[in-house]
Amino acid sequence: MSTSPNPATTGPYAIVETSGTQFWVQPNRYYDLDRIHADVDSTVTLENVLLVNDGTAATVGQPYVTTATVELKVLEHRRGPKVIVYKMRPKKKTRRKNGHRQELTRVQVQSITVGGKALA
């Protein structure tokens, strides 16, 4: 059985840090990040880039790649799925039910840039 490379991982990609979490991003794809305070259709630039792969070689930062940036376009602000939080103490007749919906921002990756040169 032959294994073909995964098309999602063969192109250029970057690993960025935003909102305290790390995301694997690729150009022309959209992602849901924690709420970013930016207007819809505006662009946001992330400079906390941990790794950049141009399809042939990877550049790893220590801790960040200093010359790399990722440009995002804000598509919309939305809310995530509802999560039910239920706490109960047995034999105490105490129950508490809460719901939570995370505030999200859907962004599309416009470009990944290293040293002023766009990868895609």
Say if CB 64 and CB 48 are below 8 A apart.
yes
Predicted confidence (pLDDT) per residue in 13-70, tens digit = 999 999 899 999 999 999 999 999 999 999 999 999 999 998 888 889 899 999 999 9
Model confidence band, residue 2 (pLDDT cutoffs 50, 70, 90): very low
Backbone angles phi, psi at 57, to 5 degrees: -135, 150
The pTM assigned to this predicted structure is 0.80
Predicted confidence (pLDDT) per residue in 86-118, tens digit = 999 999 999 999 999 999 999 999 999 998 888
